[in-house]
Structure formats: structure tokens, C-alpha cells
Chain A
Amino acid sequence: MVELVVDIALQRGSFELQASFTVAAGLVALCGPSGSGKSSMLTALAGLVRPDTGRIALGDALLFDAERGVHLPPQQRRIGYVFQNYALFPHLNVRENIAFGIARGDGSARRARVEDLLALMQLSELAGRYPAELSGGQQQRVALARALAPDPRLLLLDEPFSALDGDLRRHLGRELRRLQRQLDLPVLLVTHSRAEALQLADTAIVLSAGRVAALGAPAEVLGCLPGALGSAGFSW
């Protein structure tokens, strides 16, 4: 199994993220209250933000190493990113959004890849629609398909279910779980919700005030630490 090794420090104003962990990738939930550094962690992993010091490695690939001056730009990391509000390109339809990240060149291979993803995410009938014409759940599926299109080696999801309501949330959670196993793709999921982490994750990382407070099986990590996390905004 691919290992994600993170040991970074990052200062932004008065906020300091200083996190070190190693996880065997499967479906990893990154939990913690608002302002605990979950989003900073994702942007650092994706290469959108450069940590001040430290090292990030994914399997054999060294993504960031301050000492050796390595900082792969986001374009070269092959990390899929599903943003909190999906950030679908509003001027492109579903098909164009999904095709966006697939290299041009072989036209027929590109088209086939887009059709596969449309089918996989049950979006074929919506291919011509624009993001504004989609429901929250549909947008989320498009965002997933778009992130998967360039064949990433790690998928990051920033609170992908927060814009959705209860039933849909659970349904799409199960879908994600199934997809992750089917594609055998490491997934790191940021969530506010303890229930979500318990339902979906193989491993949970709990961040608190920019530091790793706990790491382990979700049931252990999230089950026996009530109140220990300064749980503002964390729905137990």
C-alpha cells in the first residue's frame, strides 16, 4: 500500500500548522474543528501552498522537501482535488469540465476517457448541462469525475458532503467508499463530521490547533476522546 509521509511546518500570520504523520493510504479522514489546519494541510499537499519547512512524500514520489529545495508545482503532483464548493468551471459544461484535466493530443482516447467517467459517475445524461443547472449532489459527482480524469495518485476532498443534506450525504458517502476500493486510489477526506469519519474512513487523523492530536482507527481515535479536542464546530 502507498504511504503518505507528511512532516511540515507552515506559518500564516498567527496561525501555525506543524504536523507530522505517516499513513498507509486507503481512505483517510482528516478531522478537527474549524481553524485546526485541515484546509491548510490539503493546500500544502496539493502544492498550492508551500510549507516553510519539512517534507511530503507519497510512495516513491517526493513532493516537497525544504532541505533539498524540492517543491513540485501542483501541475506535476498528480493529486486530484475536490474543492469545498466544487469549483466547477461555470463557463464549461459537464463534459468540458471533466475533459479539462485530460491532456490533449490523442483525441479519441480523450473522448473515451470522458465517456468512461461520465458513465462511472452516472452523469451521461447531464453531459451537456452547465454547473448552475445541476443539483448539489450532481455537482459533487462532476467534481469527483473531473478530479479523477487525469488519473491522480492521491485524491483530496475538502468537506465534499457539507453542501448536501442527510440522506444524499450518506448515499454519496457510500458511493465514494465503493469508488475508492474499486479504483484502489488513496483518498484523504477532510470532514467536520465524526459520523462521516466513522462511516467511511480506514484511518482518522485528528488535527487540533495546527497539530496532530490523534491518529488511528476511526473508532478508537474518535470514539474515546470526547471533549479532548476543543470541539468548536465539530459535530460529535
Chain B
Amino acid sequence: MVDALRLSFVVAGLATVLVGVLGTALGYALAKLRFPGRGFVDALVTLPLVLPPTVVGYYLLALLGRGGWDLLFTPQAAVIAAAIMALPIMVRTARAAIEGVDPVYEQAAYTLGKSPVATFVLVTLPLAWRGLLAGLVLSFARALGEFGATLMVAGNIPGRTQTMPLAIYEATQSGDDALARTLVAVLTLGAFTVLVVVNRLNRGRPW
């Protein structure tokens, strides 16, 4: 159980880092830039939100199984699966947070000589940080609970790719009710805490 717990947190943590960077960049692009194929990109990154996780897992299986990456049934595959499943949440919250920053602040920074990158770091990011942090927390929760896609690409190898949701499934199947109950309690408590934190972040403004 400790193995599953530790692995879950490591996998979800790494997935959140990936998603934080990629999701913020995509959220910024969708919020600010007008480029051809914008609607397509928007739909593509949202797809994991509406597709069954097993379908996403199937695509990843095809993708990761090729090109000699040899990532299938490794913890890395679990990280990628969790990241892809959490990406839509991060992109959507990041986009909303960035769109929530009045563009006049960015224009002011431009007239004060700051490049778009410097403006993003010095103005947009600090003004959007609550929304971005809420997105990270939700992404972490989503990654922590990922089951279907993870099972498809990383399997269910105890101590290697068996995260908590998979351990719960196995404990239930093998009749180990005590273990299942403990794991369920841990995940529920974790998810509840996440929601309380997110609600607090969404309340008020940081300044």
C-alpha cells in the first residue's frame, strides 16, 4: 500500500509539472494568439476530457509502442497517461485565468518597453497566479485518480506502475476489503482537501 501511495504521488507530481508548463503555454496561446488551426488545437487538447480514458490509453499505446521508445509498462508511461488526462483541465483553467487579466496591463507593459515574454513573466503570470494554481491543484487531483489510460499503457505492476486507483481495483477484486477501504479513504480525503483549497484560491484577489 505504501508503494502504491508513494508511486501515485510521484507519478501525479511529475505529471502536474509537465501539465503545468505545457498547459499554461497552450492556455496562453489559445487566449492571446490568433493562429490557423486554433479551433483544432482547442478541440484536440480537450478530447481527453470527453473520450473514455481507455480510448486515450489505446492511442497512447499505439503512440508509445512505436519508435523504439520502449516506454510501455513503465512508470514513465503512467506519468504520460496521467499528464494527457489532466491536460484539458489545466489548459482550460490557464486560459480562463489568462483571459481574466485585463489586456490594458499588458499594453501598459509594452509601452514601458517590456517584451511579450517579460510582460508575461512580470505582469500576466502574477495577475493570473490564483487561477493557474487552482489549475495545477485540479490537474494533480485528476492525475492522482487516473485509472483507465494508465492501465492501458502502464499496466498494473505492483511497486512499479500500480498506482492507488489500480491498487484499489485489485484489492476489491481479491477481497481485501480492509486495504480497499483505507485506500478509498485516503483518496477521498485528498480530493476533498483539493476542492477546499481550490475554492479558497478562487475567492478574492491576491492583492
Q: Which residues of A contact B (CB under 8 A)?
A: 43, 46-48, 73-75, 77, 79-81, 83, 85, 87, 89-91, 100-101, 103, 130, 132, 146-147, 149-150
Contact = CB atoms under 8 A, between A and B. Distances in A.
Interface size range on B against A: 10 to 19
B111 A74 contact: yes
Q: Which 10 A-B pairs have the closest CB atoms?
A: A101-B112, A74-B110, A81-B111, A87-B108, A87-B104, A90-B207, A91-B126, A74-B111, A75-B113, A91-B207
Contacts of B114: 75, 100-101
Contacts of B111: 46-48, 74-75, 77, 79-81, 101, 147
Contact of A146 (B102, B104, B112, B206): B112
Given A75-B113, A101-B113, A130-B207, A91 B127 contact: yes
A91 B109 CA distance: 13
Contacts of A101: 111-114
A146 B115 CA distance: 17
B110 A48 contact: yes
B113 A81 contact: no
A100 B112 contact: yes
A156 to B, nearest CB: 8
Interface in B160-207: 205-207
Interface of B: 102, 104-105, 107-115, 122-123, 126-127, 205-207
Given A75-B114, A80-B111, A89 B104 contact: no
Contacts of A149: 112
B107 A74 contact: yes
20 contacts: A46-B111, A47-B111, A48-B111, A73-B110, A74-B110, A74-B111, A75-B114, A77-B111, A81-B108, A83-B107, A87-B102, A87-B104, A89-B108, A89-B127, A90-B205, A91-B127, A100-B122, A132-B207, A146-B112, A147-B111
A77 B206 CA distance: 33
Contacts of A46: 107, 111
A41 to B, nearest CB: 15
